[in-house]
């Protein structure tokens, strides 16, 4: 089971639920467009995580080392994120 901690609340992801879908389900406001890692509009800052964050395919959007794309990343364990939009 994956636990997600934000400044707003903590919640767990359902089986096969993306981080983006979990954030939206729990009332977090997250910008998104493509849902496939192309645009980068959903990027959030990863504060800490108990496991490595990986992607089923390399996203095309440019992200910093401490950023993740909740639309397409795979998270496990516990992750702490800042869900506020990152303005680039």
Instruction: Catalogue all structural domains in the chain, each as residue range(s) with its CATH number.
Output: 1-88 (3.10.20.30)
Interval 46-63: pLDDT, tens: 999 999 999 999 999 999
pLDDT at residue number 88: 59
pLDDT at 87 over 90: no
Q: How far is Cα 65 from Cα 33, in angstroms, rounded to an integer?
A: 21
pLDDT at 23 over 70: yes
The verdict on pTM exceeding 0.75 is yes
Interval 27-51: pLDDT, tens: 999 999 999 999 999 999 999 999 9
């Amino acid at each position: 089971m994956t636990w997600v901690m934000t400044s707003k609340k903590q919640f767990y992801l359902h089986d096969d639920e993306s981080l983006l879908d979990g954030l939206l389900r729990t009332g977090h406001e997250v910008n998104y467009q493509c849902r496939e890692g192309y645009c980068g509009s959903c990027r959030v800052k990863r504060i800490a995580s108990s496991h490595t964050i990986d992607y089923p395919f390399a996203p095309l959007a440019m992200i910093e080392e401490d950023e993740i794309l909740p639309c397409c990343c795979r998270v496990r364990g516990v992750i702490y994120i800042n869900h506020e939009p990152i303005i680039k």
